[in-house]
Amino acid sequence: MKLLWGLGKLLTLLFWLVVLVNLLTPFIYPLHVLVNLAGSLLATLHLLEALFCYRSLRGRAHPWLDRLKIVFFGVFHLQTIPAPTAPKASHA
Residue 69 lies in a domain: yes
Range of the domain at 44: 2-78
Residue 33 lies in a domain: yes
| pLDDT, tens digit, 9 for 90 and up, residues 43-79 | 999 999 999 998 888 888 899 999 999 999 998 988 8
Per-residue pLDDT at 92 exceeds 80: no
> Structurally, how many domains does the chain consist of?
1
Given pLDDT bands bounded at 50, 70 and 90, which one contains residue 81?
A: confident
How many other CB atoms are there within 10 angstroms of residue 45's CB atom?
Answer: 12
- Residue 89 is assigned to a structural domain of this protein: no
The answer to whether residue 87 scores a pLDDT higher than 70 is no
Residue 92 covered by a domain:
no
Alpha-carbon torsion angle 42, 49, 5, 37, nearest 10 = 0
Q: How confident is the model at residue 84 (pLDDT cuts 50, 70, 90)?
A: low
